[in-house]
Every structure is written in C-alpha cells, then in structure tokens.
C-alpha cells in the first residue's frame, strides 16, 4: 500500500521496541465480543489507473458547464475563474495544513485570512469579518442567532424572497432552540414593505433580507434597514459578492451583519460544495461573532505577524457558552476567494458586475418580447430574473437540454404561487450568441 | 523572510485579469438599477499585475507548513498524507463543474458516487443510514443532535440534557447548547475513561443523549462501552459518537456494534481529504434505524438503475446546508476508500495504532504518561516533569518548530495537566517517527540543561512567539490605508 510505509520488517522492529509480539496485541483493550469478525464489505483496492478511469466514467454521467451552457443560478453561479486562482490554491503548503493554531509555522494561511477579512470588509462595507463559515445558508442562520444574542429578543423576521434553501437551513438551525420566525410575503418580486413594517415590533430581534434576492431583484434595503432599526432590531443582509461590484454595500446603507455565499468569487460549482459563507459585522459586535478571526500583532522581537484572536468566543475555550460550535470552517475556499478578489481587483469586480447586469438586461428584454412569455416583476434585477412561461417549465427545460442548455430553475417547486415560472441566470460568461440560442429554443 | 500585504503592492491601473468585451447593446446603468443604490465609490481592492499576484501568494505559501513538507502529529486531528489521486479525481470536469440544481437525469454520476459513498460509510460505521450533508465535524454533531431531538420530540418529550465526559472536544458541549440542550459534564475515572458510576448518577429519562469519543481524547478505548450503551438505552437516551478518532477502528470495531446510534465521520481526518488550513472538511453522520426517518433532506435514493434526491421525508429535521454538503470533499473520500479497499482500511488502523504505541514507548522515559496502558491511534503525555523546571507543554511545542516538526496538540485534553497529545497516523515512515522522538528527547534534555532555550522558542521560524494578548487588546483585524 503506497500510503502506508511500514514494511513487515519495520513492524517487527517497532513491535520489539514496544515489547509486544503482534499488532493484534495492541488492540487487546477492545472487548472481543465487540470486534468485527469479518472483513469490511468494501470492494478490493483499485490501482490508481483503474480508479481514475472509474471516476472519469462517473464524471461522464454528469452534465457540466464545459458541455452544457448554463442559465442556471439559484445560489450557485457559473462565473469565470482566472487561471491564477486554481494554481495558487493547489499549492500544498496551503491545502495540506491544519487550522493555524501554531502561528509561527502558519504565517502564510494567517496572512491570507487577514487579507481575506480586509477584502470582505471592503466589499460589504463592514468593519470586521470572520475567517469564513460553511456556506451562505449556515452563515445566514448564524447571523440570525447572533442578532438574537445581541438584542436579547427572539423573533426573527425574514423575507420570503430569500433563497428558500437558506430559509430551510435557518429553520433547521432553530429547531432546537425554538426561536419564532415570521415570514414576510413578497410583492412584485421584492419584500412587501407594508407587511414587513406591520410585522416588525419590539419583539423583533432581526430582519433578514437578501440583496439582490432569490428572484434576482434588488431590494430597497435602505428603507428596510431603517424600519428594523426604528424598532431596535438588527438588520442582516444576505448578499451576492459579485453584485457588490456595482451596488452600494449593505454596510454603507446601515446593515448590522452582512453574510452571503462566496462561491461566485472564483469557486467551482462542485455540485453544491465546498462553498464559502462570508460573515461581517460592526467592530462593537466582534465578541458576539461566530467563527475564527485573525488579527495582526507583533512577535517577541517586535516584528509584525498574524495569529488567531478573540479565541475566548470559541468552543475550544468557552465550550457550551461559545458563540457557535463551529471549528473547521472553509479556510481554503476563503483563500480561493482572496486570490480571485486580488486578481479582479478594484476595476475587475465592477467590470464583471457590469457584464452580468447588461447581459441579464438583454436576455430579460428579449425573452419578455417572446410570444407567450412574460416578465412578471418590474423590480430592477442584477443577474437573475423570473419568466412566466406559456407551457410547463419541465417541457421547456427538456427542450433546452436537447440543445445542451441548462436552466432555468422551476420556481413552482419552491413557491406554489409561481407555477409556470422559471428563474434564469446570466453571468459574464454567457455570450450574446448563447443568449440568442436560448431565445431561439424558447421561441420554438 | 516576510511578505508585505497585497494592499501595499501594485500601482493604480495595474490588473491581473481580462474579460471579454460587452457583446450586447450597453444600457445606462441608471436604467437598470436603482440610482440611489449604484455604487459611487471605488472598491478598495488591490491593483496588481499577474506576476505580483503570483509571487505574493507563492511567497505566502512558503511561510506555511503542511503535511507535504513534514511530520504533523497533531493529536485528534489525524494529519495523514493526502493522496494526490484524490485531488485529481476531484478535478474531473463532470464532478467539479456540475451545477447542484441541474436535473437529476444529468447528475447520475454525482448521485451514484454519493449513494456508493453512503454505502461504504454505512458498512464502516455499522449504521442504518448516512447523511452526507454536514460539512465539518461540529456540523455533524449539530446535525446528529438535531436528529436525536427530532426523535424525542416526536415521542412527546424533547428531554433536556446531553451527558458529556470532561475529556470531550469543546465542540461537543457547544453543539449540545446550539440544539437547546444542557451539557452535563461527568468526571472521568482515574484510568481516563468514562466513570460508569458517575454516569449513573446523572443518567435519567431527561437525558437526550450520551456523547462520547471512542477511542477517547486520551487515545484510550472505552472498554465499558457496551455497558454504557446499555445503560443509556435503558434510560431511553441515544448514544452519540464523535468520530474524530475513527482512524483507530477501521475494520476493527464498528460504532454501531458498540451501541452508538449516531456517529459523525470526519472525512478530512480518517478519510484523507486535506484540511485546507482549516477547512473545507466533511462530517457525514451515520444513524441507527430508529433515527433514520429524521435525517436531513435530501437523501440519495436508488430506483432500479436511476438515482434520485428524495426530499419527501416528512419526519426529517430539515437541511443543514444549502445543497448536498461538501461534494468535492466527498469525491476525495470516495476515491480514497476505493483506493484502499477493505484490507487497506484495516491496515490503516493497525499501523496508526502501531505507530502511536511506538512513539509512546520511545518517549515514556522522558515524559510523564498519565495512563500507561496500550494506546490506540494517539498517545497523551504530560509535561509534568518539565513543568518543575518552569517549562510548559506550550514551550515544548514551540521548541519542536526549531527542530522542523509541527508540534503535537498541547493543553488538550483538559483533564491532563500540561497535555501533549501525539497522533502520528499510519502514513509516516519509521525514520520520521524516530527523528521526531529524537527531537522530543533532545528537548527533554534541554529542559534539564538549558531551559531558557525552550522557554524562548521558537528561534528559527519566520516570526518568533507572537503577542496574542496584544492582538486582543489592540485589535487589528483588517488592513486600513
């Protein structure tokens, strides 16, 4: 076995040193009646060549973005990944390291996380970011919990225009501690402000809004944040980092906690994970924040360096009184996003966002002109939009698949009131020719 | 050697990207987005050329230590070698570039892989079903305890406490709290095991679960596990196994056979997926039959030759991830299990345990061992002798860096004074174990002759000991111009 260096001779020498006659003797503390008395029912080992061939066969059974043209979003996006990104992330000094508890040997990871925190703060307009959460959904759930801790209130008010998968994860996170959730209906593709305003009270811990929301529509978060604050509630904004290349940051508009899915920042689709939950807040709340945080400091000789900090919030110190149970997070994915943001830089992120919004506008207008199709919402959109279809979404999807096009997403599965509606997504990668092909298939 | 922040590099106008020109008619932004929400200040992100970018991150990587550079015996972390075939497999276009919401009929390869991986983990764990959704060990704990709570609620009483030994990982009580349970901590016995009498004192019909790590964090097998399981089950409580230390047990003994109702698998430990500097990991949970109806949706099911995602599970506790978990990590673990086979997996545990006992033997004359019985995959020492000279386990960890090794886990488990917890894993050659032991012995001698050199270590790393108190007193958590 190429991953186990011990030879029979090595084993013999080691057993001699230990003073036992067999490896089996080392397991003598396990009661014999508990032992597995047969081999595991797992197939025999494969050679590397056979294995790669087999995995490649599995891969061949899947559609992927090299083969199909995706107009599919809904929480996972086909953005362009510059070559520098996978190149850096595949350096094993980064990917074979553990959490940087031993700072002196982990300055590389620590500094990249410090740079990541800085970039997330810049993007979200917030003062402090943690080192990452599992994904956008769990980041949103943790943000709601944090808001409840800060306000010492328990009611969570959330827009129904938030990704339904995120809301499901929130409900699951709340299953044990039973915080009540009020869900606010949408109107014209955005949160119904009238209803929201009526729902917020002095019991409300937090108002959670997505910007742009699940339908791609840009919410008026300025007004919503003000509504929340008027009742002493916090505002959690779930956002798309690419959109923040063009949209004002939630921080600038007064948000208390900003979270989101970092996958658009150079992370492959990976059939849903690993992704990246980003999480940022105000400095005054840093001790209430979940997750790891890296800080700059100096060493014994006054030289600058980085270390994990505010660890007294965390489970390994505080145990049941920790701000979260999170331990392992998504450090390598955060590094991926850092390299992406550094590569795109000041202008690039704005350029990507502009390509998305322009191409989306083009596709939306062209589809809206098609006979039988309509655009039900007039609210402005970023890179996704809803289309009302003349026939069942399933039929349309099948037609698209036969032309090697993926999408859109059938909204009826998430919103019964949106039967015969599809959600399309257009990123900077979609060409006019591809959009025109999509239109041509829809027209058929 | 140090590397400036990327924000201090480059110059206005430099860039490291290119994008296609806009190929649709351009519309004024004000016509597309609400005017008052259009960003009117530039993003303060770097402006660097590609070579500056590459050198920056390459130089940073050189300030970092990983398993590919050398021995990394962090206890309870299972820093084994990460086979490169795993990385190649994960790059398969049909796996890496598949959209999670693409139709099932176009995702058969991904679903089949998940279905088969569940099968492997079911067999290794001796459990009824596995949910692949949790993305970390602590996330698995949260999920497993939610499933347990869902069961109890469905049976009329959620119960209110989870019993946890004082040797447990910090995530255990933190996860219990997140699920609305009180963490009741019981003292370990003199032997470092669960004290059955202590357990009996607090175990009752308000106990939702007993949460154990086996082998425990002292590297010892809980030999009374069958009785503990029986007692818990008699009280109507479930047995939860923190699977962080599963590397000792593959093909030897199965959690389900010990009476555990839930076990989480740290795929980034036992199943060789890289730790990534702190994630991504994966923490699938296996459950016994009683708990199967409550596991997260979706599950992956098979109907004839067709694989599909099943959301229609009315008793399910919900979802803990937006999609299906860390799929890319699952691919790596799947590749590993296929590569090892049943026999290979058993050899993993045999050699992991052999290596740990070898280190234990070689160091036992130099470091105090609180529980001197054969250990499993890791051995726990105490720097008690060294403390008498004013040297702490933390100092020894720092000094090891000067010898070129990543230190073991120190100051954990909490029940061992000045703990030093060493987990060599099965992937290290004997020569590496020997040179590590030589370094540990040399340090023990330094403590006798020149303790200052240990107390002030490390001396040869890119930075010296960092002022962690200052980092809290004067927080600097982001760069500012």
**Is the separation of the CB atoms in B470 and A309 below 8 Å?**
no
pLDDT for B371: 87
To the nearest 10°, report the CA torsion of B363, B368, B372, B377: -50
How large is the average pLDDT for residues B248-274? 98
At residue B172, the pLDDT reads 95
Tokens 């890496």 sit at which residue? B96
Distance, in Å, from the CA atom of A225 to the CA atom of A233, rounded to the nearest integer, reads 9
Q: Regarding the domain delimited by B343-455, which CATH topology (the fold level of the hierarchy) does it fall under?
A: 3.90.1150
Q: Given an 8 Å threshold on Cβ–Cβ distance, is B355 in contact with A14? A: yes
How far apart are the CA of B448 and the nearest CA of chain A, in angstroms? 24
- B466 CB neighbours in chain A (<8 A) are 103-104, 297-299, 305-307
Of B226, B276, B343, the CB nearest to A31: B226
Q: What is the spatial distance between Cα A184 and Cα B264, in angstroms, rounded to a whole number?
A: 36
**B120 is written with which tokens?**
């492997």
Under 8 Å between Cβ of B361 and A17: yes
Place of tokens 């008395």: A37
- pLDDT for residue B1 is more than 80: no
Give yes or no for A80 touching B (CB within 8 A).
yes
CB contact under 8 A, B464 and A303: yes
Residue B372 in this model has a pLDDT that exceeds 90 = no
Torsion of CA B143, B145, B151, B152, to 10 degrees: -150
**What average pLDDT does range B286-311 have in this prediction?**
98
Asked if B226's CB is within 8 angstroms of A327's CB, the reply is no
Closest CA in chain A for residue B121: A42
User: Which regions of B340-438 does DSSP assign to beta strands (E)?
Assistant: 379-382, 409-410, 419-422
Other CB atoms closer than 10 Å to residue B148's CB: what's the count?
30
Separation between Cα atoms, residue B67 and residue B34, nearest integer Å: 50
With an 8 Å Cβ cutoff, is A224 touching chain B? no
CB-based contact A141:A173 (threshold 8 Å): yes
Report which of A327, A278, A338 is spatially closest to residue B61, judged by C-alpha positions: A338
What local confidence, expressed as pLDDT, does residue B20 receive?
Answer: 97
Region B85-339: CATH code = 3.40.640.10
Residue B2 CA to residue A343 CA, distance in Å, equals: 21
pLDDT over 80 at B341, yes or no: yes
Question: Looking at CA atoms only, how far is residue A125 from chain B in angstroms?
Answer: 10
Q: Does domain A69-81+347-443 have CATH number 1.10.510.10?
A: no
Residue A358 and residue B26: Cα distance in Å, rounded?
6
Record the tokens describing residue A354, joined without a space: 């502009």
Tell me the CA distances in angstroms from B253 to A30, B76, B201, B215, B241, one per residue in order: 8, 19, 28, 11, 13
pLDDT of residue B47: 98
Whole-angstrom distance, CA of residue A81 vs CA of residue A414: 30
Residues of chain A neighbouring B421 (CB-CB closer than 8 A): none
For CATH 3.90.1150.10, list the domain ranges present in chain A.
Answer: 69-81+347-443
Higher pLDDT, B90 or A328: B90
CB contacts < 8 A, A to B, total 695
* Distances from the Cα of A304 to the Cα of A309, B52, B454, B468, angstroms: 15, 21, 22, 12
Residues of chain B with CATH 3.40.640.10: 85-339
Torsion of CA A83, A88, A90, A93, to 10 degrees: 170
The verdict on A49 touching B (C-beta cutoff 8 Å) is no
Residue of B nearest to A244 (CA): B39
Q: Is residue B12 very low, low, confident or very high in pLDDT (cuts 50, 70, 90)?
A: very high
Contact B109 A295 (CB under 8 A): no
Whether the predicted pLDDT of B249 surpasses 80: yes
User: What secondary structure does DSSP assign to B320-344, as a single string?
Assistant: SSSSSS-HHHHHHHHHHHHHHHHHH
Q: Which ranges in B6-136 belong to alpha helices (H)?
A: 50-61, 84-90, 93-96, 108-125
**Which pLDDT value is given to residue B95?**
98
Average pLDDT over residues B238-247: 98
Q: What is the mean pLDDT of residues B241-268?
A: 98
What is the structure's pLDDT at B253? Answer: 98
Contact present, A233 and A252 (Cβ < 8 Å):
no
Give the model's pLDDT for residue A104: 97
Interatomic CA distance for residues A410 and B7, integer angstroms: 43
Please report residues of A whose CB lies closer than 8 A to that of B19: 80, 348, 351-352, 355, 428
**ipTM surpassing 0.95:** yes
Distance CA B26, CA B31 (A): 11
In this complex, is the C-beta atom of A37 within 8 Å of any C-beta atom belonging to chain B? no
Give the nearest partner residue to B361 out of A17, A320, A335, using CB atoms: A17
Tens-level pLDDT at each residue, chain A (444 residues): 899 999 999 999 999 999 999 999 999 999 999 999 999 999 999 999 999 999 999 999 999 999 999 999 999 999 999 999 999 999 999 999 999 999 999 999 999 999 999 999 999 999 999 999 999 999 999 999 999 999 999 999 999 999 999 999 999 999 999 999 999 999 999 999 999 999 999 999 999 999 999 999 999 999 999 999 999 999 999 999 999 999 999 999 999 999 999 999 999 999 999 999 999 999 999 999 999 999 999 999 999 999 999 998 888 888 888 889 988 899 999 999 999 999 999 999 999 999 999 999 999 999 999 999 999 999 999 999 999 999 999 999 999 999 999 989 999 999 999 999 999 999 999 999 999 999 999 998
Give the mean pLDDT of B369-387.
95
Give the class (CATH, top level) of A84-340: alpha beta
Is some CB atom of chain B closer than 8 A to the CB atom of A148?
no
For CATH 3.40.640.10, the residue range(s) in chain A are: 84-340
Residue B57, classed as helix, strand or coil, is: helix
pLDDT, tens only, B393-404: 999 999 999 999
């Amino acid at each position: 076995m190429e991953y186990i260096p011990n030879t029979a001779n090595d084993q013999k020498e080691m057993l001699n040193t230990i003073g036992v006659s067999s490896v089996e003797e080392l397991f003598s503390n396990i009661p014999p009646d508990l032992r597995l008395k047969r081999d595991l029912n797992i197939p025999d080992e494969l050679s590397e060549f056979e294995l790669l061939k087999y995995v490649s066969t599995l891969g061949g059974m899947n559609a992927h973005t090299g083969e199909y043209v995706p107009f599919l979003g809904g929480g996972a996006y086909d953005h362009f990944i510059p070559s520098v990104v996978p190149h850096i992330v595949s350096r094993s000094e980064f990917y074979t390291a553990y959490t940087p508890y031993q700072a002196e040997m982990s300055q590389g990871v620590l500094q990249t996380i410090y740079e990541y925190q800085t970039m997330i703060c810049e993007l979200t307009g917030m003062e402090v970011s943690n080192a990452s959460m599992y994904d956008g959904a769990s980041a949103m759930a943790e943000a709601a919990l944090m808001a409840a801790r800060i306000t010492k209130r328990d009611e969570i008010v959330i827009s129904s225009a938030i990704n339904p998968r995120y809301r499901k994860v929130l409900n699951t996170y709340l299953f044990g501690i039973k915080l009540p959730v009020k869900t606010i209906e949408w109107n014209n593709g955005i949160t119904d402000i009238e209803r929201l305003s009526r729902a917020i009270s002095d019991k409300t811990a937090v108002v959670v809004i997505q910007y742009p929301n699940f339908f791609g529509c840009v919410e008026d978060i300025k007004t919503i944040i003000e509504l929340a604050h008027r009742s002493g509630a916090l505002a959690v904004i779930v956002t798309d980092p690419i959109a923040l290349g063009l949209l004002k940051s939630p921080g600038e508009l007064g948000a208390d906690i900003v979270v989101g899915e970092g996958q658009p920042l150079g992370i492959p689709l990976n059939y849903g994970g690993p992704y990246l939950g980003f999480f940022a807040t105000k400095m005054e709340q840093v001790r209430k924040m979940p997750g790891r945080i890296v800080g700059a400091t100096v060493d014994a000789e006054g030289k600058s360096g980085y270390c994990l900090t505010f660890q007294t919030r965390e489970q390994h110190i505080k145990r049941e009184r920790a701000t979260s149970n999170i331990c392992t997070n998504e450090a390598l994915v955060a590094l991926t996003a850092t390299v992406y943001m550094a590569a795109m830089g000041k202008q690039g992120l704005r350029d990507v966002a502009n390509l998305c919004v322009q191409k989306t506008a083009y596709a939306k207008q062209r589809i809206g002109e098609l006979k039988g199709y309509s655009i039900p919402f007039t609210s402005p959109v970023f890179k996704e939009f809803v289309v009302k279809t003349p026939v069942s979404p399933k039929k349309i999807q099948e037609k698209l698949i036969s032309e090697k096009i993926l999408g859109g997403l059938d909204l009826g599965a998430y919103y019964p009131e949106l039967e015969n509606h599809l959600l399309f997504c257009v990123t900077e990668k979609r060409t006019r020719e591809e959009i025109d092909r999509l239109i041509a298939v829809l027209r058929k | 050697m140090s590397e400036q922040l990327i924000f201090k590099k480059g110059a206005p106008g430099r860039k490291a990207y290119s994008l296609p020109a806009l190929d649709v008619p351009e519309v004024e932004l004000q016509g597309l987005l609400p005017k008052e929400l259009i960003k009117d200040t530039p993003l303060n992100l770097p402006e660097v050329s590609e070579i500056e970018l590459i050198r920056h991150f390459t130089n940073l990587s050189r300030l970092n230590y990983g398993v590919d550079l050398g021995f990394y015996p962090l206890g309870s972390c299972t820093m084994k070698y990460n086979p490169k075939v795993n990385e190649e497999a994960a790059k398969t276009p049909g796996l890496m570039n598949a959209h999670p919401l693409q139709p099932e009929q176009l995702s058969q390869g991904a679903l089949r892989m998940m279905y088969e991986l569940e099968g492997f983990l079911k067999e290794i764990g001796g459990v009824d079903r596995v949910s692949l959704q949790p993305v970390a060990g602590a996330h698995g704990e949260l999920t497993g305890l939610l499933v347990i709570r869902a069961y109890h609620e469905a049976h009329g009483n959620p119960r209110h406490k989870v019993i946890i030994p004082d040797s447990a990982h910090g995530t255990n009580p933190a996860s219990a709290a997140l699920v609305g349970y009180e963490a009741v901590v019981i003292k370990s016995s003199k032997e470092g095991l669960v004290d059955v009498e202590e357990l009996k004192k607090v175990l009752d019909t308000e106990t939702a679960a007993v949460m154990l790590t086996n082998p425990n964090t002292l590297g010892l097998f809980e030999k009374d596990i069958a009785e503990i399981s029986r007692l818990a089950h008699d009280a109507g409580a479930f047995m939860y196994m923190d699977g962080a230390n599963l590397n000792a047990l593959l093909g030897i003994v199965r959690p389900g056979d010990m009476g555990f109702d839930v076990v989480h698998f740290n795929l980034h430990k036992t199943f060789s997926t890289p730790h990534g500097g702190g994630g991504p990991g994966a923490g699938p949970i296996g459950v016994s039959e009683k708990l199967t109806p409550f596991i997260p949706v979706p599950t992956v099911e098979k109907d004839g030759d067709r694989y599909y995602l099943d959301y229609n599970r009315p008793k399910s506790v919900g979802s803990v991830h937006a999609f299906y978990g860390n799929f890319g990590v699952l691919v790596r673990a799947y590749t590993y299990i296929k590569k090892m086979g049943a026999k290979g997996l058993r050899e993993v545990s045999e050699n992991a345990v052999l290596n740990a006992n070898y280190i234990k033997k070689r160091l036992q004359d130099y470091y105090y061992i609180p529980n001197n019985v054969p250990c499993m995959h890791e051995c726990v020492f105490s720097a008690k002798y060294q403390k008498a000279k004013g040297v702490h386990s933390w100092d020894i960890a720092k000094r090891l860096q000067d010898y070129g090794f990543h230190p073991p886990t120190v100051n954990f488990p909490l029940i061992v004074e000045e703990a030093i917890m060493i987990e060599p894993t099965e992937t290290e050659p004997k020569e590496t174990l020997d040179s590590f032991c030589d370094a540990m012995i040399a340090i023990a001698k330094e403590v006798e002759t020149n303790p200052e050199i240990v107390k002030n270590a490390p001396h040869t790393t890119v930075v010296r000991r960092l002022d962690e108190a200052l980092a809290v007193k004067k927080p600097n958590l982001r760069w500012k111009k």
